Structure 1
Amino acid sequence: MASYADTARPDALAVPIEERRRAAIRGAFFSEYIDMFDIYVPIVVLTPVLFFFQPAHLPPGEEALLASLVFITTLLGRPIGAFLFGLVADRIGRRMASIYSVSGFGLITLLIAALPGYQSIGVASYWLLVLLRFLDGICLGGGYTGAMPLAMEYSRKSERGFAGGLILAAFPAAYVTINLVAMAVFALVPLHGLDSPYAQWGWRIPFVIGAALAGMLVLYYVFKVSESEIWITETAEGTQKLPLTDLIAGRSGRNLLQVLLLMTGFWLTQNLITIFIPATLLFHFLHLSKFQLTSTLLISYALLFFSYIGSGMLGQKVGRRRFFVVAGPLIATVGAAIMYVLVGVPGLSLPMIIVLVCVLSILVTSPWGVIVTYINERFATDVRATGFGVGFSLSVIIPSFYAFYMSWLGYLMPFRYTPVVLLVIGGLIGMVGALLGPETRDVDF
């Protein structure tokens, strides 16, 4: 059993509670920020130079498969990391789980920056990249599993909604940052073939930045963040159950199933915003130029930073459950209608596209400003980190195959309208998941 001295920073008792509270929330914000930064780095930075790790003249199908593995392996690692580091956070403390996980993905990100190419070590270069991204995904999956429960347990009950929205607002902030960093690197370091500066060393710069950010976050947790007093108090008696045993049995098991259903719906709708819109809608359907596409996304994500905070505060005022119950049908109706216009109405002007994408993004992603707070409130202290991590990460798997669902629906209807159907389905699943659970706004930790 961990003691206070084992898990808290040495001078924690001398630090005013308000300072400890702010430090925990800031730590969770930057954990989410660095997590998202590291996830988007390969998508934005590595995609143009994957040939650096692969043999030349691959068939297009094989090239697409190898490219997808770099990103899929990270996704597969995240639920594993959420589970493993959730156990660590529930058994030895939220703070130590954060330190271990952030140290891990900082080191792995630095190793990726140092990888040699295919010309140096052959196909081993590509498989090392895939392996490191998988290990990175495990550590990234644990990065928020300790940090977010720690922040929630330090937050005042009346301010949990704001804190949860602020923490998730780090996601759009990170997206904007990595795109700006990538644009700067692309502008300063030319890319024109395998021997160009960008292919040889330019792509490494954002990875080094990500590793440095992780290193600074580790130091922040070591010297500034104190262990959750709620966790310390409730585990001090030495009667703590194994988190896994408690999580899959009784009330905690039912809570997890309800959270998984809720999150499956909102992950499905979220993926249509974060993946389908930039990769398919704006590029293939609406034929925006690279500059127009990037500008549209940067504007929408800048607005999402504020809308996540607003959603969190609104959920605090009206209740988390009520927020989801209203947001789900709105996504299934208003959101689906906006998507229908974007995919089906020809000749939309660029300003109109930007407005519609921004409104759609704010509406569809609004539940995410409430989700962090809600999931933490659904679990008891001894399983909170594991329940949050598993509920948040495991639920992403089924929605991640949204492209296959669109393909199957394409046999029944014009393919371009299939995302409209998925928005309807996802919104309704999220609503049903919320209806099966209680209101949590007044839950005491």
Structure 2
Amino acid sequence: MTRNKQNDISVTETDQDEKRRKSAIKGAFFSEYIDMFDIYLPVVVLTPVMFYFQPKNISESLEVILSSLVFITTLLGRPIGALMFGMVADRLGRRKASIYSVSGFGIITFLIALLPGYETLGITSYLLLVLLRFLDGIFLGGGYTGAMPLAIEYSKKSQRGFVGGFIIAAFPLAYVSITLIAMLMFFLFPLDGADSPYAQWGWRIPFVAGAILAGFLTLYYIHKVSESEVWKEDSGVAEPQKKLPLMSLVTGESGRNLLQVLLLMTGFWLTQNIITLAVPTALLDKTLGLSGSQLTFTLLITYLVLFLSYIGSGLLGQKIGRRRFFMISGIAIATVGSAIMYLLVNARGMPLATIILLVCALAILVTSPWGVIVTYINERFATEVRATGFGVGFSLSVIIPSFYAFYMSWLGHLMPFHYTLVVLLCIGGLIGAFGAFMGPETKDVDFQ
């Protein structure tokens, strides 16, 4: 009887562990989904109505600058949030950091939905929008700093590759979702000047939806997700013996690990930005001259394919090793990827089906490292600094690549402008491969 009772207890504990594992992984997936949903809201939903927050009759160049600041300030806020909430996650727990950050960007997103326009507040309306997007970036930067380490720490070693790829696959799903929602809003509430339904309140609906999603995710973490067992075991170390996460991160072995991660991520952020930001605008829109509907259709197909390719990359990285995968993919991006980009640059007049096929092939190749990145960065840091290391390594490295448009402009003095995408793609792939070469293999690392 005693043995049967012990077996029952063991089975119950195993079931509970599996339930906690699945809850943490689902939480990270939806955290990434909502994070990306919120990041791209101003790009897709607000861009057509930025005049609602700006003075009339401003120059085209100033209009472009004011519109871009709404997106850039969010990116600038992310590294700050990653550092802040990373330290919270390492000191107080991954679960608490997730709850605080998700609650924060839910509230900020709802406040943006309530903003009056320029006719009511003048330039203060635009300044409030930029300020709220900056604060939003801080909370968004913290959204994955607790959620992703929590999910990876709960994952079995043999399944970390799949889990990392599955989590990041929420990004293309979010892009597809927000694009479809925006198309629905344009259909239901036509945009025709400052007094049209979309300009006055149609754009607000997706922001309210984003806030509601964040609210549901907060409740999910409160009621469904348990704190990381790995973190709880590590947090048992006596407090006087523990340094602040930031001090531990930038010194000794962790400091060297961080530099290597930043190098690798700088390369792959550069290639990622070219695919997600430069290709739709500089290539498909301007160089190839696709119509709005053709561009939207091409991007929707591409992002749907990426949902599966991210998961596939995570599984392949688990099989052959993260370091080897990064080195192979980085070199492939610099060679095969650059060749496909060259074909696309000269694809004007090609059938749309051929262009879509080339774009999908390029996107799968160039973004493949991202199916492995979440798992790899978490494996590069000890438990006491894992959340801070992941957040800083993931977010701080985006700054230099974010100025890709300036690099294109400088290279444009040396070559035809449209070929600058080919050169930057090659440079980014080589930097990513070299960054991987400088680090160790991590797929057999034990969390402790």
Say yes or no: TM over 0.5.
yes
Indicate the residue corresponding to 1:336 in structure 2: 338
Indicate the residue corresponding to 1:230 in structure 2: 230
Structure 1 contact 153–230 (Cα < 8 Å) conserved: yes
Indicate the residue corresponding to 2:210 in structure 1: 210
Alignment of 1:153-164 (within 5 A): 153-164=153-164
Cα displacement (A) at 1:280: 1.4
1:305 aligns with 2:307: yes
CA distance, structure 2, for counterparts of residue 292 and residue 346 of structure 1: 13
CA distance, structure 1, for counterparts of residue 220 and residue 119 of structure 2: 39
1:104 aligns with 2:104: yes
Indicate the residue corresponding to 1:252 in structure 2: 254
Indicate the residue corresponding to 2:220 in structure 1: 220
Structure 2 contact 44–182 (Cα < 8 Å) conserved: yes
Ranges in structure 2 where 5+ consecutive residues have no aligned partner: 1-11
Cα displacement (A) at 1:388: 0.2
**Which amino acid in 2 is paired with 1:325?**
M
Cα displacement (A) at 1:345: 4.0
Indicate the residue corresponding to 2:374 in structure 1: 372
CA distance, structure 1, for counterparts of residue 280 and residue 171 of structure 2: 16
Backbone CA RMSD of aligned residues: 1.1
Task: Show CA shifts across 1:280-335 (max 9, x none).
Answer: 11100110010000000000000000000000000000000000010011000000
Cα displacement (A) at 1:65: 1.2
User: Structure 1: which 4+ aligned runs deviate by more than 4 Å?
Assistant: 12-15
Alignment of 1:419-434 (within 5 A): 419-434=421-436
CA distance, structure 2, for counterparts of residue 319 and residue 14 of structure 1: 28
Secondary structure of 2:258's match? helix
Alignment of 1:140-219 (within 5 A): 140-219=140-219
Among candidates 421, 436, 439, match of residue 437 of structure 1: 439
**Which amino acid in 2 is paired with 1:133?**
R
Indicate the residue corresponding to 1:113 in structure 2: 113
Secondary structure of 1:127's match? helix
Cα displacement (A) at 1:63: 1.2
Cα displacement (A) at 1:64: 1.3
Cα displacement (A) at 1:344: 2.3
CA distance, structure 1, for counterparts of residue 407 and residue 59 of structure 2: 26
Cα displacement (A) at 1:267: 0.3
CA distance, structure 2, for counterparts of residue 142 and residue 162 of structure 1: 23
Task: Show CA shifts across 1:120-154 (max 9, x none).
Answer: 11111000000000000000000000000000000
Structure 1 contact 344–417 (Cα < 8 Å) conserved: no
Among candidates 378, 401, 407, match of residue 403 of structure 2: 401
Task: Show CA shifts across 1:60-113 (max 9, x none).
Answer: 121111111111100100000000000000000000000000000000000000
For normalisation by structure 2, the TM-score amounts to 0.96
Secondary structure of 1:16's match? helix
Greater alpha carbon shift after TM alignment, 388-397 vs 115-124: 115-124
Indicate the residue corresponding to 1:27 in structure 2: 27
Aligned CA distance change for structure 1 residues 353 and 234 (closer, same or farther; 3 Å): same
Indicate the residue corresponding to 2:77 in structure 1: 77
Cα displacement (A) at 1:15: 7.2
Cα displacement (A) at 1:348: 1.3
Indicate the residue corresponding to 2:6 in structure 1: none
For normalisation by structure 1, the TM-score amounts to 0.96
Structure 1 contact 109–136 (Cα < 8 Å) conserved: yes
Structure 2 contact 288–347 (Cα < 8 Å) conserved: no
Cα displacement (A) at 1:399: 0.4
**Which amino acid in 1 is paired with 2:164?**
G
CA distance, structure 2, for counterparts of residue 171 and residue 250 of structure 1: 34
Structure 2 contact 347–355 (Cα < 8 Å) conserved: no
Aligned CA distance change for structure 1 residues 15 and 224 (closer, same or farther; 3 Å): farther
CA distance, structure 1, for counterparts of residue 13 and residue 390 of structure 2: 27
Structure 1 contact 161–312 (Cα < 8 Å) conserved: yes
CA distance, structure 2, for counterparts of residue 427 and residue 292 of structure 1: 28
Alignment of 1:277-296 (within 5 A): 277-296=279-298
Structure 1 contact 409–418 (Cα < 8 Å) conserved: yes
**Which amino acid in 1 is paired with 2:69?**
L
CA distance, structure 2, for counterparts of residue 232 and residue 34 of structure 1: 27
Structure 1 contact 344–416 (Cα < 8 Å) conserved: no
CA distance, structure 2, for counterparts of residue 49 and residue 159 of structure 1: 44
Q: Aligned pair count?
A: 434
